[in-house]
Amino acid sequence: MASIVCLATFLCGAASVSFYPNTNLTDTSGNIIQAHGGTIIQDQNALASGATTWYWFGQDDSTDTDFDGFLGVPCYKSDDGMASWDYLGLALSPTAGTAISDDAVVERPKVLYNAKNDEYVMWFHLDNSDYGLAEVGVATSSSIEGPYTFLSGFSPLGHQSRDMGVYQDPDTDEAYLIFATDDNANLAIALLNDDYTNTTEVVYNFTDVYWEAPGVIKNDDTFYLIVSPQNGWTPTANIYMTASSMSGPWSDYEELAPTEAYTYLSQNAYDLTIVGSEETTFVYFGDRWNGDELFSSTYSFLPLEIDSSGTMTLHNTGGWSLDVETGAWADLSYTSITAAESSSRTTVSCTDDCSGGKAVSMTDSTTFTFTWDGSDGDKIMQVQYTYSGSDNSFLNLGVTVGGVAVAGNVLIESTIAVYTQQAPIPLTLSEGDEVVISLLNWNGDSVLIEGVDIYVE
């Protein structure tokens, strides 16, 4: 893959982006980005003329509590290293009388650039509302943002296809469809034809695995295939396998993060390769689903680290920055306020090794309160908590600053096992402000707040 060193910022735009995992991202018009199960790709044609442009495609779940029909595949564009996203409209629109009508299920859209035809090819999971169809759909466009023209929906090489991803090897330009098949029991890898519009042969089949949400990166000559165990719209402990060829043999799986962290409450959607002038960085792009309210699902961007022995780990952080020109990334600094710090709080011992060993046990009448003594301005507050509730249950945090409610309070999801998770809350603080965190819909389950980490935006 070519890499262009930016000689002037006007050519390449601002390059650095700060990610605060699981915040609600908005586009440049202030609307929440609806591009779940998506893909983010760099425009190689723009890169050839020195511009760094990124496009994000995904599912629009804005009206979905569960299934609510196909609303189209939105497309967003970033010229500033993924720091801001312009909404460009629908790349693929529902079309009456075709398999992508508004009663279709269209999930996990992915886009490839086919250099031979100078054409963009979109692949997606195509289904009906009871998931009985189990096909892939393919659409093409001469421009990256679309509109894409639907070609067909089909069973790849006669097999069912549910969750899927695509991967284009940057060294050979060979492209692959990775798809869950046989009622999810098996995960197959199929080589695409040289137009990228069809499959030619299954080159590997993982049997009896029940895996979903595949994504691939290549580090030196090793392929890493990331998948999630099947469990509906819910986080699971995502895993990866390695191989020196897409046709295997593939290694046994390893977990990306501690089992009980459930991939920091996310599910893989796509994995980005940032080829910078100084280093190559791999970015995990996951969904934090809320299965009961799909529209309030958020996104999780985290760095993937690979050590000298080839072990890959998802780096857990509440905030980090990435320079897409150099490929360099770093954790952002923050101020911690722990439950243990204030003698005026009623605390309990925390059930893991939280800082200071104390936490506030939240009920409908307890709060976690502190007075901010840092700088004035916009912040992201990452609430550090454990929540041992039932699988896939959500609670809302209520936050006030100086007695005024902060809008858009995030959901905190059950972690089932005890593991400190983070819930991000954007807010504006001034020195001396009292911040009060409460639970809006406590259900009797154990919720411990161990502290907050405050990042300066």
Q: Which is nearer to ligand GLA, 134 or 190 (CB)?
A: 134
Q: Which is nearer to ligand GLA, 37 or 94 (CB)?
A: 37
The CB-of-59 to ligand GLA minimum distance in angstroms stands at 8
The helix (H) or strand (E) run that includes residue 14 is none
User: What string marks each residue from 216 to 255 as x (binds ligand GLA by CB under 6 A) or -?
Assistant: ----------------xx----------------------
Q: Tell which one of 136, 213, 294, 429 touches ligand GLA (CB under 6 A).
A: 213
Q: Which is nearer to ligand GLA, 271 or 433 (CB)?
A: 271
d(CA 164, CA 432): 50
The CB-of-234 to ligand GLA minimum distance in angstroms stands at 7
Q: Which is nearer to ligand GLA, 105 or 397 (CB)?
A: 105
The CB-of-12 to ligand GLA minimum distance in angstroms stands at 34
Residue 212 interacting with ligand GLA (CB under 6 A): yes
Name the one residue in this structure whose structure tokens are 């959607």: 269
Residue 107 interacting with ligand GLA (CB under 6 A): yes
The CB-of-403 to ligand GLA minimum distance in angstroms stands at 40
Q: Tell which one of 163, 323, 433, 453 touches ligand GLA (CB under 6 A).
A: 163
Q: Which is nearer to ligand GLA, 79 or 107 (CB)?
A: 107
d(CA 125, CA 151): 14
Q: Which is nearer to ligand GLA, 99 or 213 (CB)?
A: 213
Instruction: List the structure tokens of 457.
Output: 């935006």
Interacting residues with ligand GLA between 320 and 379 (CB under 6 A)? none
Would you say 56 and 49 are in contact if contact means Cβ atoms under 8 Å apart?
Answer: no
What is the bridge-based pairing of β-strands 105-114 and 119-127?
antiparallel
Which residues are paired to 94 by β-bridges?
Answer: none
Q: Tell which one of 21, 37, 156, 426 touches ligand GLA (CB under 6 A).
A: 37
| Separation of first and last alpha carbons in the chain | 32
Q: Which is nearer to ligand GLA, 108 or 110 (CB)?
A: 108
Torsion of CA 42, 43, 48, 52, to 10 degrees: -60
Number of residues that bind ligand GLA (CB under 6 A): 8
The CB-of-348 to ligand GLA minimum distance in angstroms stands at 35
Instruction: List the structure tokens of 449.
Output: 């707040």
Q: Which is nearer to ligand GLA, 108 or 379 (CB)?
A: 108
Residue 80 has what DSSP assignment? S
DSSP one-letter string for 319-353: -EEEETTT--EEEPP-EEEEGGG-TTS--EE-SS-
Task: Of 23, 215, 181, give the one whose Cα is nearest residue 108.
Answer: 215
The CB-of-162 to ligand GLA minimum distance in angstroms stands at 6
The CB-of-314 to ligand GLA minimum distance in angstroms stands at 18
Q: Which is nearer to ligand GLA, 268 or 317 (CB)?
A: 268
Residue 23 has what DSSP assignment? P
Report which residue's Cβ sits closest to ligand GLA. Answer: 212
Strands (E), 26-183: 36-42, 54-59, 73-78, 86-92, 105-114, 119-127, 135-141, 149-154, 164-168, 175-181
The CB-of-209 to ligand GLA minimum distance in angstroms stands at 14
The CB-of-107 to ligand GLA minimum distance in angstroms stands at 5
d(CA 239, CA 222): 16
What is the chain's Cα-based Rg? 22
Burial of 280 (0-12, 13-18, 19+ CB in 10 A): middle
Binding region for ligand GLA (CB under 6 A): 37, 107-108, 163, 212-213, 232-233
